[in-house]
Chains A and B, each alone.
Chain A
Amino acid sequence: SQTIHQWPATLVQPVGSPLSLECTVEGTSNPNLYWYRQAAGRGLQLLFYSVGIGQISSEVPQNLSASRPQDRQFILSSKKLLLSDSGFYLCAWRGRPNTEAFFGQGTRLTVV
């Protein structure tokens, strides 16, 4: 069966520090991968998605970047965090368009 792992679960980082959040998927190959952010009390904002190794589409210009060094690995990064980067970050995958997406448990990032 397929599983998605996302870590860490919580993270507190100072302003200006770097960020690296990792997401891995098991039990499937060539998934579509997604990074979302959810600010407190708000909906899910799609940040990046990837249809293959090295292929990244950015939906919102921002202080963040994403990379996909391996088929089932998706990384969200920042060189210098801002206070506005605080939020709940979710990774998701799905096998093909028009199939359901499966989400990780999320990382709650607080930038102080």
Chain B
Amino acid sequence: DAKTTQPTSMDCAEGRAANLPCNHSTISGNEYVYWYRQIHSQGPQYIIHGLKNNETNEMASLIITEDRKSSTLILPHATLRDTAVYYCIVRVGTGANNLFFGTGTRLTVIP
């Protein structure tokens, strides 16, 4: 199973920043943190990933704590189209190839 813990659901007002937390206290030194989102009835979409430095792209920012035990995905100006389930995952297990998802956080952007 995925070694991450996320809140089950969150709400965010449209136009405000959405901050989605993730705990990964057992992450090892060479494991990356990935974020995906899944809009209803579609395949998951990659958002961003990082190792230890904060990352930013056109979709979001990823803030990783110095001890790497938690991270936060930030959607700077949430829109209604950002309503989705957001998954935080890390590489799991001794194999380099499996890719596990948890249950994610259901973000609802409210008009």
Contacts and interface: CB of A to CB of B under 8 A. Distances in A.
Interface of A: 32, 34, 36, 42-46, 49, 51, 57, 59, 88, 90, 92, 94, 97-98, 100-106, 108
Contacts of B99: 34, 46, 49, 92, 94, 101
Interface string B93-107: 001111111111000
Residue among B36, B42, B43, B104 having the largest count of chain A Cβ atoms under 10 Å: B43
A103 B101 contact: no
Interface of B: 32, 34, 36, 38, 41-46, 49, 87, 91, 95-104
Contacts of A94: 99
By secondary structure, the B interface counts as loop
A55 to B, nearest CB: 10
14 contacts: A36-B101, A42-B103, A43-B103, A44-B87, A49-B99, A51-B97, A88-B41, A90-B44, A92-B44, A97-B91, A100-B34, A103-B43, A103-B45, A106-B41
Contacts of A36: 101
Given A43-B102, A43-B104, A102-B46, A97 B96 contact: yes
A108 B64 CA distance: 35
Contacts of B38: 44
Contacts of A108: 41
Nearest to B38: A44
B97 A97 contact: yes
Contacts of B49: 100
A106 B91 contact: no
